[in-house]
């Protein structure tokens, strides 16, 4: 899939911007703080309707303005459609071909974007919720129904936690309703578990080879850890029952896919505890590149790839290993402060944009 053209209004430090992109490699270079990440953030917003940097949409609107929008023409299977995300103080609106789409879940799985940003390096060392977040974002852009199941799970989880607290406060020992909620939670949780397991299995088919192609040595694997793994609904319910009194005492659901985690290992050693910063960065980058192939396998189209500021800590050889791995069917956006680190031959076959304080100059 290709982003042919983008029109940005009042987004971050851009006032009005219209750019036409190459179907292959697009390079955006410029000094720090000029708006390179803002541009790729706009592309990400167009795809996933939110930023990868912040949760508060209002901050994305150009200072002093009341509304921002990003519109893009996406070509997929020889067909072009126009997508648009509009942010304002009243909330968010999304449109496909100028028609309003009411449910976000009817929008987000249409444009696939894989983004690597230097902040991703923290995914491996931060809390499990960051790694679940990674799984949720990626799986929901592949399977439309995943987001719906996830939101159903979270609704039941809330109700269950509330009821656990009620049981505790009222000293009421009736667990009938708790069992109904638990059964529902398990039903949605098992489906989430299956999606996550199958996604991680697919990633593992490719990730080790990608890691070795770029960084030469090391066997990288990702393990999906979940209390639901390899259990059926009855078995899981039996475990919950053992936890009921404990859960009532703390008013929280102690078991479930909201505690799932991912463990990255290099040569069987966990990267969180044993890896170097460089190895962790390489692992996340390999994960994202593996996703490219997984999404192509499932959706039959390559996603759009964004490598934001990737080169800042890589040597020339690794940069060129990465660039030569990229299939020329993949539309790629690379941002960098150091244009001279990219091979001249590669530059010649790319579209190059020079970013200067909210303006973009196309170089010919």
Ligand X SMILES: Nc1ncnc2c1ncn2[C@@H]1O[C@H](COP(=O)(O)OP(=O)(O)O)[C@@H](O)[C@H]1O
Q: Are 339 and 148 in contact (CB under 8 A)?
A: no
Task: Tell me, by CB under 6 A, how many residues bind ligand X.
Answer: 14
Query: Is the four-CA dihedral 101, 106, 112, 117 of positive or negative sign?
Result: positive
Residue 68 CB, shortest distance to ligand X, in Å, is 8
CB 336 within 8 Å of CB 309: yes
CA separation for the pair 299, 223 (Å, rounded): 24
Find how far residue 109's CA is from the centre of its chain. Answer: 12
Please return the burial class of 213, using the count of CB atoms within 10 Å of its CB with bins 0-12, 13-18 and 19+. middle
Segment interacting with ligand X, rule: CB under 6 A, options 27-35, 94-102, 113-121, 124-132: 27-35
Stretch that binds ligand X, among 33-41, 44-52, 141-149, 316-324 (CB under 6 A): 33-41
Exposure of 302 in the CB half-sphere (CA atoms within 13 A) = 19
Which residue lies nearer to Mg ion by CB, 2 or 36?
A: 36
- Which of Mg ion, ligand X, none binds 134 (CB below 5-8 Å, type-dependent)? none
Q: Which of 10, 37, 51, 336 binds Mg ion (CB under 5 A)?
A: 37
38 sits near Mg ion (criterion: CB under 5 A): no
Closer Cβ to ligand X, 37 or 279, answer by number: 37
CB of 274 to ligand X, least distance (A): 32
Query: Which tokens sit at 89?
Result: 């103080």
Regarding 27 and contact with ligand X (CB under 6 A), the answer is no
Query: Residue 13 binds which entry of Mg ion, ligand X, none, with Cβ cut-offs from 5 to 8 Å by kind?
Result: ligand X
**Distances, alpha carbon 335 to alpha carbons 330, 340, 342, in Å:** 16, 13, 11
Q: Residues 32, 56, 234, 268: which binds ligand X (CB under 6 A)? A: 32
**CB 330 to ligand X: min, Å:** 22
Residue 273, φ and ψ in degrees, nearest 5: -95, -35
Q: Which CB, 86 or 298, lies closer to ligand X?
A: 86
Residues that bind Mg ion (CB under 5 A): 36-37
Residues that bind ligand X (CB under 6 A): 12-13, 30, 32-38, 59, 61-63
């Amino acid at each position: 899939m290709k982003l042919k053209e983008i029109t940005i209004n009042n987004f971050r430090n851009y006032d009005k911007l219209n750019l036409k992109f190459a179907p292959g490699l697009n390079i955006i270079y410029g000094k720090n703080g000029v708006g390179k990440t803002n541009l790729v953030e706009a592309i990400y917003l167009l795809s996933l309707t939110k930023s990868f940097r912040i949760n508060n949409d209002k901050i994305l609107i150009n200072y002093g303005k009341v509304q921002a929008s990003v519109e893009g023409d996406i070509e997929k299977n020889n067909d072009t459609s126009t997508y648009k995300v509009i942010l304002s103080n009243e909330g968010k609106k999304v449109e496909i071909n100028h028609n309003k789409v009411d449910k976000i879940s009817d929008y987000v799985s249409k444009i696939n974007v894989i983004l690597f940003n230097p902040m991703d390096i923290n995914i491996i060392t931060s809390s499990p919720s960051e790694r679940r977040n990674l799984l949720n974002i990626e799986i929901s852009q592949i399977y439309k129904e995943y987001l719906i199941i996830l939101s159903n799970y979270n609704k039941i989880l809330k109700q269950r936690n509330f009821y656990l607290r009620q049981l505790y406060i009222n000293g009421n020992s009736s667990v009938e309703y708790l069992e109904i909620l638990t059964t529902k939670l398990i039903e949605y949780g098992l489906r989430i578990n299956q999606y996550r397991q199958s996604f991680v299995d697919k990633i593992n088919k490719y990730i080790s080879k990608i890691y070795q192609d770029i960084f030469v040595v090391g066997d990288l694997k990702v393990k999906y850890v979940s209390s639901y793994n390899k259990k059926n609904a009855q078995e899981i319910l039996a475990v919950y029952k053992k936890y009921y009194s404990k859960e009532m005492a703390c008013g929280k659901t102690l078991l479930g896919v909201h505690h799932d985690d991912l463990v990255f290992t290099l040569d069987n050693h966990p990267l969180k505890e044993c890896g170097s910063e460089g190895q962790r960065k390489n692992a996340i980058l390999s994960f994202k590149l593996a996703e490219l192939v997984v999404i192509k396998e499932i959706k039959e189209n390559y996603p759009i790839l964004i490598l934001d500021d990737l080169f800042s800590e890589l040597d020339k050889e690794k940069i060129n290993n990465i660039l030569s791995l990229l299939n020329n069917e993949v539309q790629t956006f690379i941002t960098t402060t150091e244009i001279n680190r990219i091979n001249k031959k590669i530059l010649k076959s790319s579209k190059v944009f020079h970013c200067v304080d909210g303006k973009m100059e196309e170089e010919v």
